[in-house]
Chains A and B, each alone.
Chain A
Amino acid sequence: MLGFGAGFVLTQFGLRWMPPWVGAAISIPTSTLLFWCLAASFVHFSDGDWKAAVLFASVGLVFPGAAALLNFESNRLMGPNIAGALSSLTPVFAVMLAIVVLGERVRVPHLLGLAALVIGISLMYRVHVTLSARSLWLMALPVGSSAIRGVIQPVAKLGFAWWPNPIAAVVVSYTVSSAVLIVAAVIRSAERSPLSIIAVRSGLPQSDCATALPSYRCMVPSHPVR
């Protein structure tokens, strides 16, 4: 929780000089390099399990890369307040799937705590909007992003049953996610200015937690949803 929160704030400094999607295409691969350095000491791939690796790789297809891009689009199309508030649904998806797939049990205090968290986060994002039919339809974007973030948690947990090494999980998933993001950034850069392509290819380091890049803006008053 502390790492995610600090990442959000630090990211604000990087966003002063480049757009969020370029930042994501730099920060997640940078994190991946760091995790590979850690893997040299903490991961013995010969002890790994291919079923777990496939699960971790499938997580990487959507998180953190695709979830971050979905977040960017949610913020751009709907505004940061509603997108940020809907991101609080993430633990709801995760807990529901954990109960169904992993057979985890929840008690009443757990449910009360989860409800308090979701309501509290929604209040923090200050949603004062009148939703049109279009914005209701666009809600699928932030809800989809929340669903991705929620679903990957039980999936990763499943993988740990076969290969209980979090560094291995993060190395595999971030490597896949980096590839997804770099390809997306190169394609998007090709549609924009040549300077953007240089920015992507230069690999300048930036703060981590790129999934948070636009979400910090949800915490401050911004333009309303139309």
Chain B
Amino acid sequence: MYGALASGAVTIVSPLIAGYPLVTLLLSRALLAKEKMGPQLIAGVTGVVSGVVLLLIA
């Protein structure tokens, strides 16, 4: 986080860092097999991915 903040704008870095629950979800499914994908979760993942893509291409 500090490395990203040192080289990038807070308005870009902060939202990208906030997307970590997506990585947590994917890893927890792979390593812990705890998470079941329901409609709401899929909508949430879609929202996070869309947000990250928008920030990256903006």
User: Taking beta carbons and an 8 Å cutoff, which residues of A are in contact with B?
Assistant: 1-2, 4-6, 8-9, 12, 84, 88, 90-91, 94-95, 97-99, 102, 104-107, 109-110, 112-126, 150, 153-154, 156-157, 160, 164-167, 169-170, 212, 216, 218-220
A83 to B3, CA, bound (A): 27
A-B pairs with CB below 8 Å: how many? Answer: 173
Which residues from 1 to 35 on chain B have a C-beta closer than 8 Å to any C-beta of chain A? Answer: 1-3, 5-6, 9-28, 31-32, 34-35
Set B10, B24, B51: member contacting A102, Cβ < 8 A? B10
* Nearest chain A residue, comparing its CB with the CB of B34: A220
A160 to B9, CA, bound (A): 12
Set B22, B32, B46: member contacting A12, Cβ < 8 A? B32
On whether the beta carbons of B41 and A106 are closer than 8 Å, the reply is no
A51 to B20, CA, bound (A): 31
By a CB distance below 8 angstroms, the chain A residues around B14 are 90-91, 94-95, 98, 150, 153
Chain B interface residue number, banded: 35 or more
On whether the beta carbons of A1 and B20 are closer than 8 Å, the reply is yes
A206 to B23, CA, bound (A): 20
On whether the beta carbons of B48 and A124 are closer than 8 Å, the reply is yes
By a CB distance below 8 angstroms, the chain B residues around A219 are 21, 24-25, 28, 34-35
On whether the beta carbons of B20 and A117 are closer than 8 Å, the reply is no
On whether the beta carbons of B44 and A104 are closer than 8 Å, the reply is no
Set B17, B21, B34, B48: member contacting A116, Cβ < 8 A? B48
By a CB distance below 8 angstroms, the chain B residues around A99 are 11
Set A4, A90, A95, A165: member contacting B11, Cβ < 8 A? A95
* Nearest chain B residue, comparing its CB with the CB of A156: B5
